[in-house]
Amino acid sequence: MNELEAARQAALDAYAIVDSGPEQAFDDIVRLAVTLCGVSAASISLIDRDRVWFKAQIGVDQSQVPRELSLCNHAIDQPGRTLVIDDLDIDPIPAAKRRRLGGKPPRFYAGAPLLSPDGHPLGTLSVADVVPRHLTSQQVEGLELLARQTQHLLELRRLMLEQGQLLTAREAAALRAEQARAELQKRHEELQQTASRDPLTGLLNRAAMEVLLAETLARDASEQPPYTLLLLDIDHFKQVNDAHGHLAGDQALRAVADAVTQSIRKSDIAVRFGGEEIVVYLPGTALDGASEVAHRIRERIAQAPLSFSITVSMGIAAGDPARDRPEQTFGRADQALYRAKQAGRNRVVIDDTPFFSSIDPD
Q: Would you please indicate which residues are annotated as catalytic (active-site) residues?
A: 276
Task: Give the total residue count for the chain.
Answer: 362
Burial of 218 (C-beta count, 10 Å sphere; 0-12/13-18/19+): exposed
d(C-alpha 26, C-alpha 24), whole Å: 6
d(CA 261, CA 274) in angstroms, rounded, equals 17
- What single-letter DSSP state applies at residue 46? E
Residues 6+ apart with CB under 8 A from 79: 113, 115, 119, 121
Q: 190 in helix, strand or coil?
A: helix
Measured distance CA(264)–CA(293) in Å, rounded: 7
Q: Are 230 and 333 in contact (CB under 8 A)?
A: yes
> If DSSP codes are grouped into helix, strand and coil, which group holds residue 309?
coil
Q: Would you say 44 and 84 are in contact if contact means Cβ atoms under 8 Å apart?
A: no
The answer to whether the CB of 42 falls within 8 A of the CB of 127 is yes
Q: Are 29 and 56 in contact (CB under 8 A)?
A: yes
